[in-house]
Chains A and B, each alone.
Chain A
Amino acid sequence: MWRLFHRSLALFIGLGVVPTLIIAIAFALPSHLQIEQFKMLTGLLLIVSTISTLCLAGLVVTILKRPLHQLKNAQTKIQNGNLKYRLHVEGSFEMQQLFHGFNEMASSIEIAAEQEKQHAAERSLTKVASQVAHDIRSPLASLNVVAHYLSEQKNGDPDYAEFLHILKLSIDRIKNIAEDLLNKRKDHEHQSPTLLHNAIDDLVTEIKSKQYNQLNFVIEYHQPTIPVTATKIEIQRAIGNIITNAIEAMCNVGTIHIKTDTSDRGVAIHIKDNGPGMTPEILSKVLQGGFSHGKANGNGVGMTIVREIIEKHHGQLTAQSTPGIGTTFSIDLPTYSLPK
């Protein structure tokens, strides 16, 4: 593969150096070898050398400018919206590398534009849906009042009981759908960062206010404070459920160690207790959710909620436990980053 330097060097040698060498040889010939009527050959050689050098200048600049024109052309096409345009990778080694890099950049731009388009469509749809949900609330409220009035008027009438029940269920269902749509919009809009340590501090303060006299909290924070995308309520709910489970497993006596640190994903929150611990089989079921261990009124909903919150924010929940020593739950969450 020709490199730019090789091409330029070949041109300079062929069109610049060789004619000059020939002239030098012609001048150096002994006079008896120089044919009288062809003395002008030297002059001709000089003319050829001059013309070839001028041609050389033109060719070198053309070689350098051609790929620049192609790049400029490609840049204009992409700027005008033709995101699929790619350069044909050809020419010297350096130009191939340059064109290849440009094509990769263009692919990234195309992908980013597609994603932005999709996001814009989603945002638009969410906006419409939430607008509908918002507007629906008022007539729903009226329907609710009417259903309630009818229910009072026809109380005890078996012919109407079923229909009224269905009416109430349907109104509740529409109301829940509308609430859900509105909540999704809020989640999508209000993705401002939450300071993790502040959220944990407030949670621990709230738990301590319940007067667990024989319960200790040891908190070890990574500095500086780490922002995450989950809301404060969600963080407190997730960590709170784990802490509540730990307190109940320890029968309100013991130490809970909360530690934050950086991790590959972003931030890791470790909640360690010195309770009775669990066997691997029980631990795995607890992590899946819907399973309760060691609690009289437990139903496993708490861990399910913890998993849902963590998965919603692309995090990971893991745990380690040793029977008789304690359990450590670890939550891995991505840190907050500005939207691109």
Chain B
Amino acid sequence: MDNTLPVKKSKLIQNIVVTAIVTTIWVILCTLGFNPANEPIDSIAVIWPGAILHGVGAILLGGWGIVATVLSAVIVDVIKVGSLHIILGFSIPDLIQALIPAWYYRNQIKRFGWGPEVFSFKSYLLFATLIPNIVGAIIATIIFHPSNQPIEQMWFPFLRWLVANIPISLILGWPLLKCLGPIMAEEGLTVNGWWQ
């Protein structure tokens, strides 16, 4: 009779490695596709590829996805912008934009597992694209709105933020989640909870 306790393999190393790989890829992509604009709210990109990671990374990797999102955004801002207040300022909306889908999908996974409910377009559109980006845009606009400018001028950067994030999240993020997500879940590369 085998009296030894079953050994539970820790996925910590795996999660760290996956996070590191994802961060590296997204840093490279975001430094190439990123173009800081010279608008009142500085450094809002024309197109922000990091929006893909906000949704897909948070859904598949939970807390590790949030770490990858924030870390890659910080590294990109350090390389491209260099300004500390910009770097710290953007990390807050990036964190929120990853936190919302991570929270929602953790609940879905707990209820349904990695089934069709998790990979539905409706859920992705609402909780991984529209809601997080609207909230993130509001936060970013508020943070970076110069106090000497009228509030009406906040609309432009707010809309630019949405334009930079939402289309790319839908056009590239959704196919990526649909093609890669189920197979990653099957192979045990996803994170069901927040950290494991």
Contacts and interface: CB of A to CB of B under 8 A. Distances in A.
Contact of A51 (B52, B181, B182, B183): B52
A40 B46 contact: yes
A50 B179 contact: no
Contacts of A40: 32-35, 46-47
Interface in B15-35: 25, 29, 32-35
A56 B179 CA distance: 8
A47 B29 contact: yes
A50 B25 contact: yes
A113 interface: no
Contact of A62 (B33, B49, B176, B182): B182
Measured as residues with beta carbon below 8 angstroms from the partner, the interface class of chain B is 20 to 34
A50 B173 CA distance: 12
Given A42-B32, A50-B25, A51-B52, A65 B180 contact: no
A291 B80 CA distance: 112
Interface string A75-119: 000000000000000000000000000000000000000000000
A44 B183 contact: no
A30 interface: no
Given A55-B180, A62-B183, A47 B33 contact: yes
Contacts of B184: 58
B183 A61 contact: yes
Nearest to A48: B172
B176 A51 contact: yes
Contacts of B25: 50
* Residue from A43, A59, A61 having most chain B Cβ neighbours under 10 A: A43
Contacts, number: 50
Interface in A117-154: none
B183 A55 contact: no
Nearest to B52: A51
A50 B24 CA distance: 13
Contact of B32 (A43, A58, A59, A61): A43
B112 to A, nearest CB: 19
26 contacts: A40-B32, A40-B34, A40-B35, A42-B32, A44-B33, A46-B29, A46-B33, A47-B29, A47-B32, A47-B33, A47-B172, A50-B29, A51-B172, A51-B175, A51-B176, A54-B176, A54-B179, A54-B180, A55-B175, A56-B179, A58-B179, A58-B183, A61-B183, A62-B182, A65-B183, A65-B186
Interface of B: 25, 29, 32-35, 46-47, 49, 52, 172, 175-176, 179-184, 186
Given A40-B35, A51-B52, A58-B180, 20 more contacts: A40-B32, A40-B34, A40-B46, A42-B32, A43-B32, A43-B34, A44-B33, A46-B29, A47-B172, A51-B172, A51-B176, A54-B176, A55-B176, A58-B179, A58-B181, A58-B182, A61-B183, A62-B179, A62-B183, A65-B183
